[in-house]
Amino acid sequence: MSQAYNEHITSEIDEGSRIGKDTRIWRFCHIAATARIGQNCMIGDGCYIAGVIGDNCRVQNGAQVFQGVVIHDDVFIGPNVVFTNVKRPVIGVKQEYLGTVVKRGAVIGANATIICGVTIGTGALVGAGAVVTKDVPDGATVVGNPARVIDG
């Protein structure tokens, strides 16, 4: 039986991951066993995915979606976006992951860093290079380091 998604030969798909129909996974990606990716998504070159991604999402090249991150439907994640999942990592100490939620229709620009434990609201826009350290309201635009609301 053939799989319902497309993966590039150079990508690593761990056993246990779930990938929806018509999703495309490009070169040099690693899809971890904890990953859940919806239907009709595009995962660009060089991504690491261990979190949950809804349907119709676009994750551009080099993005890192760690375990504990939940991305709803119709979200755009720009190139080299990084989601963290531990607030204060300490080597040798088991850490609990803090959840991060990106709600439906949000857009996150290139090179943004999303610190764990925040919610990015429905239809929000995170500008390129922003460092999001607190919740982003629905429909808001945030920019800068730390990210601040400039619209919405």
Express each pLDDT in 101-130 by its tens digit: 999 999 999 999 999 999 999 999 999 999
CA separation, residue 119 to residues 61, 100, 104 (Å): 23, 6, 11
Q: Which two tokens stand for residue 151?
A: 């619209």
Three-point CA angle 77, 31, 74, nearest 5°: 30
**What is the sign, positive or negative, of the torsion defined by CA atoms of 143, 148, 150, 152?**
positive
Averaged pLDDT, 56-70: 98
Pairing verdict, β 24-25 and 119-120: unpaired
Q: How many helices (H) and strands (E) does the chain have?
A: 0, 22
pLDDT of residue 62: 98
Asked if residue 43 has pLDDT above 70, the reply is yes
Q: What CA–CA distance (Å, rounded) separates 74 from 120?
A: 13
Side chain identity, residue 102: V
Query: pTM of the predicted model, to two decimals?
Result: 0.95
pLDDT of residue 1: 41
pLDDT tens-place string over residues 67-95: 999 999 999 999 999 999 998 889 888 88
Range 1-152 has CATH code 2.160.10.10:
yes
Domain boundaries, the chain: 1-152
